Amino acid sequence: MTQAILKTDATALPKQPWLASVKWDCALIIGPAIVTSVIALACKPILDNSQFMPLWAWVTFVLVVDVAHVYSTLFRTYFDRRSIAEHHLLLVVIPIACWFAGWLLYRTDDMYFWRALAYLAVFHFIRQQFGFVALYSRNDPREFLKVRWLDQLCVYTVTLYPLLYWHTHLPRNFNWFVSGDFVNAVPHVVNECALAFYCLVITVYTAKELLLFKSTGFLNIPKNLILFGTALSWWVGIVALNSDLAFTMTNVVSHGVPYMALIWLYHNKASRANANVSSAETRASKSLGLLSKDFLLSFAPAFVLFLVLLAYFEEGFWDGLIWREHLTFFTPFASLPAITDATTLSILVPLLSLPQSTHYVLDGFIWRVKDKSGSWSAR
């Protein structure tokens, strides 16, 4: 009798809300933040207080992950027929508005542009973690809903405090985009108060999880792992170490890899939901061959290679026209003229930044999934 009751109670508990599977989520969604943080801590004697960024690391983390993941947004927007049909006006207006705003800011003061882009990127990075916590909380028991606000507060706390620490300890050996893009006017006393609040929130959140586990018997493993990974990577990359490579590794990999994995996952789930697609559309897709969206999103090496090629071309133009720091790697772009004219830069820099700025803005829309097909809503 007792065994039967226990079995019934256990069955009544919700399943762990993995997005795909334990292995998939741990490898591509949750794992990147934890693994890179552990590596950074293990290499602390080498990395700490260093601005050194070897070319292989820049290519691996910045080009292959950071810049490449931006282009994965194309598969939910400009490469998606349904998105174009339903949101064509939005998909046209946003890039134009982003470029115009960037031109206006850069024309006034180039630092206004970089600062606005940096804080927009920060908001985007934080909201991604917020979104993952929401996804992993989708099947929580009713008792959990009353205190879901504490989950949200915890996400903001474990990301915003390291950023506040960064602001109160400028300059650091790393920047978001360029030196001086963060405001350098936050007194140290603010950091001390914020640290106390940080510890309080984590303590209250931990107590909440333990109490809910005691009362319901359910512990949301992926949600707590994603929160742990977020807290760990933002602390290690920004607070614990003062290293350009450590920050880039923990910040970029924990953001870019899960983002690309989510794009891949949504496409494959949508493909199963749209199994009855019209034969005409199927033939049109197949006729594109290797450039087919379905092919690229069903063959991982092709998907990644496509994104990396786009990233290479973008960074090639950046390096040839603006930075000129890795010309040996961007040989085809080495002959481009270095642009120094302020008027030309005010047009060119926002244009080259358009993939990033458009990605940041569109990301606020494309995860508002409205049905099982994976299509999104602009409202």
| Cα separation, 189 vs 261, whole angstroms | 40
Give, for 111, the enclosing helix (H) or strand (E): helix 110-136
Runs of H (alpha helix) within 137-274 = 142-145, 148-168, 188-216, 221-234, 244-273
Local confidence pLDDT in tens for the 379 residues of the chain: 444 434 434 456 779 999 999 999 999 999 999 999 999 999 999 999 888 899 999 999 999 999 999 999 999 999 988 899 999 999 999 999 999 999 999 999 999 999 999 999 999 999 999 999 999 999 888 888 889 999 999 999 999 999 999 999 999 999 999 999 999 989 999 999 999 999 999 999 999 999 999 999 999 999 999 999 999 999 999 999 999 999 999 999 999 999 999 999 988 776 665 655 544 444 444 444 445 777 888 889 999 999 999 999 999 999 999 999 999 999 999 999 999 999 999 999 999 999 999 999 999 998 887 666 567 666 6
Using alpha carbons, select from 131, 135, 124 the residue that is nearest to residue 69: 124
Residue 77 has which token pair? 């927007």
- Residue 12 tokens, joined: 């009544």
Could you give the CA distance from residue 218 to residue 13 in angstroms, rounded to a whole number?
7
Quote the tokens at residue 345: 């830069």
Residue 131 burial (CB < 10 Å; 0-12/13-18/19+)?
A: middle
Q: Which residues lie below 8 Å from residue 152, measured CB to CB, with a gap of 6+?
A: 130, 133
CA-based torsion, 321, 116, 171, 110: positive or negative: positive
Taking a C-beta distance cutoff of 8 angstroms, is the pair 344, 51 a contact? no
3-state helix, strand, coil in the chain (%, to 5): 75, 0, 25
- Tokens 């405001």 correspond to 183
At residue 309, the pLDDT reads: 98
Give me the residue spans of the domains in the chain: 20-272+284-366
What is d(CA 243, CA 24) in angstroms, rounded to the nearest whole number?
30
Half-sphere exposure (Cβ direction) of 302: Cα atoms closer than 13 Å = 11
Per the structure block, which two tokens stand in for 18? 């993995």
pLDDT, residue 185, reads: 87
pLDDT of residue 373: 59
Bond from prior residue into 171 cis (ω within 30 degrees of 0): yes
Question: With contact defined as beta carbons under 8 Å apart, do 161 and 194 qualify?
Answer: yes
**Exposed, middle or buried: residue 48 (CB in 10 Å: 0-12, 13-18, 19+)?**
middle
pTM: 0.90
- Whole-number Å distance between alpha carbons of 339 and 359: 25
| Cβ proximity of 55 and 65 under 8 Å | no
User: According to the model, what pLDDT value does residue 369 have?
Assistant: 74
Structure tokens at 43: 């290499």
> Would the CA dihedral through 60, 61, 67, 72 be positive or negative?
positive
d(CA 318, CA 325): 10
Long-range Cβ contact pairs of 209-216 (< 8 A, separation 24 or more): 212/143, 212/144, 212/147, 215/143, 216/13, 216/141, 216/143, 216/144
